Amino acid sequence: MTNVFDAFSGASTSLYGELPNPAEDAGFDGERPKRVGFFTDTSVCIGCKACEVACKEWNLVPDDGSDASDLYRLTGMSYDNTGDLGASTWRHVAFIEDVRPHSGASAATGDRASTATGVEVTTGHLPSALPAVSGGPVPGAPRDAATAPPDGGTVDLLALLPDDGASGATGNGAQGAHGQQTPDDERDVRWLMSSDVCKHCTHAGCLDNCPTGALFRTEFGTVVVQDDICNGCGYCVPSCPYGVIDVRESDGGAHKCTLCYDRLGSGLEPACAKACPTNSIQFGDLDELQATADARLAELHGRGVEEARLYGRDPDDGVGGDGAFFLLLDEPEVYGLPPDPIVTTRDLPEMWRNAALTALGLGVAAVASFWRARK
């Protein structure tokens, strides 16, 4: 942000809106590198978590468990035992085991499924078949692994197996329950994997809200915390619409992905992209990545993968586009991403106006309470 008054005038896009060059907006003039970022193509992610490991190795990110007994904590929900991004997790591989009634199987066994349980079995395309969290645990009804256990307990993976096992409802299904797309089984199982990371937003709430200036915009257009400045106020934590940055309890500082700022300076690509064996994580100049992503999306749609979509690609979205964006195979919220994030500073000018007017009102009320007051 170059000028305070510009930023709040409404004419500038420093706080919200499309902003072609955040580094320039942050005050970098003249010669500087192009904006870089990540394109994470989750359609080729195999969930190996090499990115998580490489990130920890390179950046010396400590263990994210609090003690030894916690070290091997299992989330009990899927093969994802990392859980979410945090101060000590800068890459997080989400893993969704998506179990749903197979359309062919339910046509064959539909009577049984709906009459035996008295529940309408939802079939067809995915979203309506995956009412995660909202649906109650109806006995015998198909349940998907993306549904949180209603009582706060762990997911019983065995219960997700087909009731009649490998014998199959139609008698000819010999596949295991966890094989992908078992055609004759009662259910389809699909695995979605996605390596999540800091989005390095064009309008970064964490950066604008940081009171010390510890968070800053680099010449590459990325957002980085200076650990020697951060005083652990924690304001960046709820400012992030994606829930990325967090305060590390052991040292009190806020931490997140730096997009390997140190490696960038030496002309190297970030550790996670380097380690990714399937090129799911692609690093490069943002404009080139966007072109790559558009081509990839067109290719997938051409192949009939209609559920493919780009997330964070649009420079006109609520955060002005992400420096790290994704190709997803389902709704963003299934991956734990907000479907339509908006940077909190969009409303900041109005908030300041409201607060100033209210302060004035409070002052006037306090003064007025002395009006003709008897002693």
Partner 1 sequence: MTHDANTEMDRFGVDRDQVKPRRKRRGGRGEDLMVPEAEFRSYYGRPIIKAPVWKNPDVPLYLFLGGLAGSSSVLAAMASATDRPTLRRASRLAAAGGAVGGTVFLVHDLHRPQRFLHMLRVFKPTSPLSVGTWILSPFATFAGLTAATEVTGWFRRTGNVTGVAAAVVGPALATYTAVLFSNTAVPTWHEAHRHLPVLFGSSAAAAGGGFGLVFASVADNAPAARLAVTGAVVELATERTMEHDLGMLADVYEKGRAKTLMTASKACLVAGAVGAVVGRRKRWSAALSGLALLAGSALTRFGVFDAGIASANDPAHIVVPQRERIRRREESTRAGSTPPDRRYAPSAGS
Q: In the window 143-182, what residues touch partner 1 (CB under 8 A)?
A: 146-148, 150-152, 155
- Sequence-ordered list of residues with C-beta below 8 angstroms from that of 82, at least 6 positions apart, any chain: 49, 52, 64, 89, 92, 93
Reading the block at residue 314, the tokens are 């649009």
CB neighbours of residue 287 within 10 Å: 12
**Residue 17 interacts with partner 1 (CB under 8 A)?**
no
Nearer to partner 1, 51 or 210 (CB): 210
Say how far apart CA 358 and CA 369 lie, in whole Å.
16
From the list 28, 79, 235, 261, which residue makes contact with partner 1 (rule: CB under 8 A)?
235
8 Å CB contact between 196 and 92: yes
Nearer to partner 1, 116 or 229 (CB): 229
From the list 249, 262, 278, 287, which residue makes contact with partner 1 (rule: CB under 8 A)?
249
Say how far apart CA 311 and CA 1 lie, in whole Å.
26
First to last CA, the chain: 53
Per DSSP, 89 falls in state B
8 Å CB contact between 222 and 255: no
CB of 295 to partner 1, least distance (A): 11
- Cα 331 to Cα 94, 96, 132, 183, 190, distances in angstroms: 13, 12, 12, 24, 14
Nearer to partner 1, 47 or 168 (CB): 47
Instruction: Give the range of 21-29, 130-138, 164-172, 258-266 binding partner 1 by CB under 8 A.
Output: 130-138
User: How many residues make contact with partner 1 (CB under 8 A)?
Assistant: 116
Site string for partner 1, 261-290 (x = CB under 8 A): ------------------------------
Q: Which long-range contacts (CB under 8 A, 24 or more apart) does 29-32 make?
A: 32/219
Nearer to partner 1, 171 or 213 (CB): 213
Amino acid at 66: S
Reading the block at residue 286, the tokens are 């943002």
Nearer to partner 1, 111 or 350 (CB): 350
Reading the block at residue 348, the tokens are 């900041």
Contacts with partner 1 in 43-62 (CB under 8 A)? Answer: none
From the list 248, 261, 274, 292, which residue makes contact with partner 1 (rule: CB under 8 A)?
248
Question: Which alpha helices (H) appear in the chain, and where do they start and end?
Answer: 4-9, 22-25, 50-59, 103-117, 126-129, 205-209, 236-239, 261-265, 271-275, 286-302, 348-368
Closest CA to 217 of 238, 192, 200: 200
Nearer to partner 1, 6 or 184 (CB): 6
CB neighbours of residue 72 within 10 Å: 8
From the list 239, 258, 282, 290, which residue makes contact with partner 1 (rule: CB under 8 A)?
239
From the list 213, 278, 279, 291, which residue makes contact with partner 1 (rule: CB under 8 A)?
213
From the list 118, 127, 165, 171, which residue makes contact with partner 1 (rule: CB under 8 A)?
127
CB of 205 to partner 1, least distance (A): 6
Say how far apart CA 294 and CA 285 lie, in whole Å.
14
CB of 168 to partner 1, least distance (A): 28
Nearer to partner 1, 106 or 344 (CB): 344
Contacts with partner 1 in 76-105 (CB under 8 A)? Answer: 77-78, 83-84, 86-89, 94, 96
**Residue 220 interacts with partner 1 (CB under 8 A)?**
no
- Alpha-carbon torsion, ordered 161, 164, 167, 168, to 10 deg: -80
**Residue 138 interacts with partner 1 (CB under 8 A)?**
no
From the list 29, 31, 69, 136, which residue makes contact with partner 1 (rule: CB under 8 A)?
136
Contacts with partner 1 in 293-352 (CB under 8 A)? Answer: 294, 297-298, 301-302, 306-311, 313-314, 316, 331, 333-341, 344-345, 347-348, 350-352
**Residue 19 interacts with partner 1 (CB under 8 A)?**
no
Residue pointed to by tokens 């997803």: 328
